A and B are shown apart, each in its own frame.
Chain A
Amino acid sequence: AQRVTQPEKLLSVFKGAPVELKCNYSYSGSPELFWYVQYSRQRLQLLLRHISRESIKGFTADLNKGETSFHLKKPFAQEEDSAMYYCALISGGYQKVTFGIGTKLQVIP
């Protein structure tokens, strides 16, 4: 069965410090992974997807199949990055979307 693990419920960093939000997955097939973000009082929304290898709002994420990880990184945190971040995995023929428990990122001014 597929599983997404986000080991940290809360991550606090100072403004300007590097950020790494961890995500590990368990899936026997070929994984498709995504990061979603939920800012305060806003809808949960897609941040980025591994397949496009893009950088959004300074965030990047690399799929590491050997370590079954898809960590989200940003070199310099900004206060507006404070939000809830969810890692998600697509699996199965009907492309079920499974989320991790989420990590709350708090950027301290």
Chain B
Amino acid sequence: DAGVIQSPRHEVTEMGQEVTLRCKPISGHDYLFWYRQTMMRGLELLIYFNNNVPIDDSGMPEDRFSAKMPNASFSTLKIQPSEPRDSAVYFCASRRQGRAGELFFGEGSRLTVL
């Protein structure tokens, strides 16, 4: 099992451009989480899904951020338009129902907005 797969690993873009980050959770996992990691704020929960349905998106910073999970094996996090303050590492994680706290993380997508 390759674990949680995220793409791209690195993204450099210019302010105002659209950014799409992708995540493939571990097969059979019911929950999917998107986190943002920065030096100042650590790991912030942006949004999470249960069985493809968004449960809590209160961590999404602004309307510029959106996330979808069209099926059990794929999720996207989109930023449009991107700004320099969005520069961070974005992590996707998944877990199985009944295994609360046992998150499996992807390697992260490092985003740099110039």
Q: Which residues of A contact B (CB under 8 A)?
A: 6, 32, 34, 36, 43-46, 49, 86, 88, 90, 94-102
Contact = CB atoms under 8 A, between A and B. Distances in A.
B42 A94 contact: no
A19 B111 CA distance: 33
Given A43-B3, A98-B45, A101-B42, A34 B101 contact: yes
B25 interface: no
Interface stretch (B15-23, B72-80, B102-110): B102-110
A85 B50 CA distance: 26
B102 A44 contact: no
Interface string B31-42: 101010000011
Contact of A88 (B41, B56, B101, B107): B101
B72 to A, nearest CB: 17
B106 A90 contact: no
Interface residues of B, number: 22
A88 B33 CA distance: 14
B90 interface: no
B101 A99 contact: no
Contact of B50 (A34, A94, A99): A94
B42 A46 contact: no
A44 B108 CA distance: 9
Given A43-B107, A44-B91, A94-B55, A49 B42 contact: no
Sort A-B residue pairs by CB-CB distance and give the 6 closest, nearest first: A101-B42, A99-B43, A95-B100, A44-B105, A34-B101, A102-B42
Contacts of A100: 42-43
A99 B42 contact: yes
Contacts of A43: 3, 105-107
Nearest to B100: A95
A86 B43 contact: yes
25 contacts: A6-B42, A32-B100, A34-B101, A36-B103, A43-B3, A43-B107, A44-B43, A45-B105, A46-B101, A46-B102, A86-B43, A90-B101, A94-B48, A94-B50, A94-B55, A95-B100, A96-B45, A96-B55, A97-B100, A99-B35, A99-B42, A99-B43, A99-B45, A100-B42, A101-B42
